[in-house]
């Protein structure tokens, strides 16, 4: 008999497993049967030479369709709706007939949702920049500027510190494996636990940061109560979290560079800076460009850290676009404006999509592909 743990008895665990395991086995058998049927269809009916490759790719294609393409299309559809807390019932198949709406989706709803992201509208006329939240700094231009500033500082420090650590870890030093493991810890820890821990470390009275500053004779700082210091605090934490990603990526790239390049350059009289500039950085480009692209997208959309540490405060000073979107659409004072939130998210998607296209093309990220 398995002893109960936290109120969960052994019998309950066994009963649950006895119900779940047959279901899992059944799903696996069903998928294998579908794969077998698909392979026979492609190979024997359509007589495709790459039938096996298409069969193996089919699960990934279905996953992309279900978890990426469908949510994206559904999000666009919501942007053309007036879906919010007051109109939830109208979008239910059960009660839609009782609503007095002429239609549930339409271009008018889309124009209203997208307009409210940028402007305040009164009596059908655009009055001024709309406040997404309460303060004057919650307009779209102000939030976009703060988000760009937030992303810029984070990515610059992620890259510079990550590259520096990668260069150090690429040298012959003792206990290299231990150092790598310690550096990767911030990246491996669960995010919410990390954010809550750092929130306590920035406590004005008991936090480790102020205790450390006190040893140098610096007065305690109310980190999370002042707009500037709160922004510095969340930026520091996100930099601390992002450096291991760059270190791992760039260290792999450094280890793939043949030592013969450096030996030949050194024989030609090239110094350390010239070797770094003309050998290391060009050969790291295929790794660096995708890493920077991903980092910009992740940092631009870094919602969880902001929400857990400051919830956009104080005085909404640490809000970036995604946290302002969350608070405006789903905050305690909001009305669950799903149509507005969908329009807002599409704007953010367009901004990041344009950045990715411009950055990849101008940085030469596709040069090797085109050359082939």
* CATH number of the domain to which 197 belongs: 1.10.3720.10
86 inside domain = no
How confident is the model at residue 4, as a pLDDT? 46
Q: Predicted confidence band at 370 (pLDDT cuts at 50, 70, 90)?
A: very low
In a domain, 228, yes or no: yes
* Boundary-marking domain end, from 20, 50, 65: 65
User: Do 41 and 150 lie in a common domain?
Assistant: no
Please name the residue that has the structure tokens 């149509």.
339
Note whether 152 and 26 are same-domain residues: no
Give the single-character DSSP code of 45: I
Q: Are residues 53 and 166 in the same domain?
A: no
DSSP string, 161-215: HHHHHHHHHTS--TTHHHHHHHHHHHHHS-HHHHHHHHHHHT-TTT-HHHHHHHT
Res 368 pLDDT > 90: no
Burial of 287 (0-12, 13-18, 19+ CB in 10 A): middle
In a domain, 258, yes or no: yes
pLDDT at 2: 45
Please tell me whether residues 177 and 320 are part of one structural domain.
Answer: yes
Among the candidates 22, 46, 65, a domain finishes at 65
What does the alpha-carbon distance between residue 229 and residue 355 come to, in Å, rounded to a whole number? 29
Same domain, 320 and 185: yes
**3-class DSSP state for residue 290?**
helix
Does 41 reside within a domain? yes
Return the residue matching tokens 């050359």: 371
299 and 164 belong to one structural domain = yes
Q: Based on the domain organization, do 140 and 33 belong to the same domain? A: no
Most confident of 63-72, 106-115, 152-161, 308-317: 152-161
300 shares its domain with 176? yes
**CA-to-CA distance for 62 and 50, rounded, in angstroms?**
18
**C-alpha pair distances (Å), 101 with each of 96, 109, 287, 364:** 9, 12, 52, 51
Question: How much of the chain exceeds pLDDT 90, in percent?
Answer: 41
> Is 313:332 a contact under the CB 8 Å cutoff?
no
Could you tell me if residue 87 is inside a domain? no
Nearest to residue 242, comparing CAs of 297, 166, 187? 187
150: in domain:
yes
Residue 291 in domain: yes
* Residue 355 within a domain: yes
Q: What domain range is 235 assigned to?
A: 136-371
d(CA 105, CA 103): 6
pLDDT computed for residue 124 by the predictor: 65
Asked whether residue 178 falls in the same domain as residue 41, the answer is no
Q: Are 167 and 249 part of one and the same domain?
A: yes
Domain boundary (20, 48, 65) is at 65
Percent of residues, the chain, with pLDDT higher than 70: 89
* CA–CA dist 322, 337 (Å, integer): 15
CA 102 vs. chain centroid, Å, equals: 38
pLDDT of residue 134 exceeding 80: no
Torsion of CA 340, 310, 133, 352, to 10 degrees: -50
Please indicate, yes or no, whether residues 211 and 317 belong to a single structural domain of this protein: yes
Contact in structure between 343 and 114 (CB atoms under 8 Å): yes
Instruction: State yes or no: pLDDT of 1 exceeds 50.
Output: no
CA gap 346, 75 in Å, rounded: 8
Question: Model confidence over 318-332: pLDDT tens digits?
Answer: 999 999 888 888 876
Number of domains composing the chain: 2
Q: At 95, list the tokens.
A: 């009660």
| 120: three-class secondary structure by DSSP | strand
**Is residue 141 located within the same domain as residue 60?**
no
Mean per-residue pLDDT, 168-185: 84
């Amino acid at each position: 008999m398995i002893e109960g743990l936290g109120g969960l008895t052994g019998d309950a665990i066994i009963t649950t497993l006895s119900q779940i395991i047959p279901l899992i086995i059944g799903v696996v058998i069903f998928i294998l049967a579908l794969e077998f049927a698909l392979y026979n269809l492609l190979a024997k009916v359509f007589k495709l030479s790459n039938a096996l490759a298409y069969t193996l790719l089919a699960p990934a294609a279905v996953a992309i369709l279900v978890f990426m393409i469908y949510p994206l299309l559904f999000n666009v559809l919501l942007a053309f709706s007036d879906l919010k807390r007051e109109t939830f019932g109208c979008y239910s198949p059960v009660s839609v007939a009782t609503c007095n709406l002429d239609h549930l989706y339409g271009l008018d709803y889309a124009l209203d949702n997208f307009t409210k992201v940028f402007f305040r509208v009164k009596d059908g006329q655009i009055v001024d920049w709309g406040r997404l939240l309460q303060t004057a700094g919650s307009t779209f231009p102000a939030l976009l500027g703060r988000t760009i500033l937030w992303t810029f500082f984070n990515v610059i420090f992620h890259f510079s510190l990550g590259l520096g650590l990668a260069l150090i870890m690429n040298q012959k030093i003792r206990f290299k494996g231990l150092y790598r493991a310690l550096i990767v810890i911030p990246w491996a820890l669960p995010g919410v636990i990390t954010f809550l821990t750092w929130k306590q470390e920035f406590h004005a009275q008991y936090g480790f940061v102020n205790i450390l500053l006190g040893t140098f004779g610096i007065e305690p700082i109310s980190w999370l109560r002042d707009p500037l210091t709160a922004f510095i605090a969340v930026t520091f934490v996100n930099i601390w979290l992002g450096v291991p990603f760059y270190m791992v990526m760039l260290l792999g790239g450094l280890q793939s560079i043949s030592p013969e390049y450096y030996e030949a350059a050194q024989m030609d009289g090239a110094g350390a800076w010239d070797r770094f500039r003309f050998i290391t950085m060009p050969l790291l480009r295929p790794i660096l460009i995708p890493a920077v692209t991903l980092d910009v997208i992740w940092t631009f959309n870094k919602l969880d850290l902001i929400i857990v540490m400051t919830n956009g405060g104080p005085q909404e000073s640490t809000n970036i676009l995604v946290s302002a979107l969350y608070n405006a659409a789903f905050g305690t004072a909001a009305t669950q404006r799903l149509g507005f939130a969908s329009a807002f998210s599409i704007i953010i998607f367009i901004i990041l999509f344009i950045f990715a296209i411009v950055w990849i093309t101008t940085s030469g990220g596709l040069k090797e592909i085109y050359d082939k």
